[in-house]
Amino acid sequence: MPRSHSLQLLFTCFALGLSGCSHRTYYAPPPPPPPQAYREAPPLIERAKHIGYRTGLDQGARDAYQGEYHPREDRAFRETPGYDPRLGPFPPYRDAFRSAYLRGYDQSFHR
């Protein structure tokens, strides 16, 4: 094969190989970061979780000592102490308190 044909064949293969590189690849951008409100709980909820968990730990230990498991019948569970109306509405506080209370109660009772 003459040298010019070899070079032409080599050039053609090279050009065809690079033709696949001309297509652009697009990637989806990463999702935006969550709003600040979702990254940290409001002070009302943080307070409810803290007080509820500590109260549940204390009451669960007392009930475990007495051998009686009844977290939803305890006065603190029903009354949800520590609520401060300046921080927000009561229902979210109550729900967060009770959830944290049950976690603390169970952890302490079952130790």
Q: What is the chain's pLDDT, residue by residue, as a tens digit (111 residues)?
A: 555 566 676 566 555 555 555 567 777 788 877 666 555 679 999 999 999 999 999 999 999 999 999 999 999 999 999 999 999 999 999 999 999 999 999 999 998
Rounded CA separation 44/59 (Å): 22
Query: pTM value?
Result: 0.64
Tokens for 34? 């969550």
**Using CA of residue 101, residue 106, residue 109, residue 111, what is the dihedral sign?**
negative
Rounded CA separation 64/77 (Å): 16
Rounded CA separation 59/16 (Å): 77
Tokens for 50? 């803290």
Rounded CA separation 71/56 (Å): 8
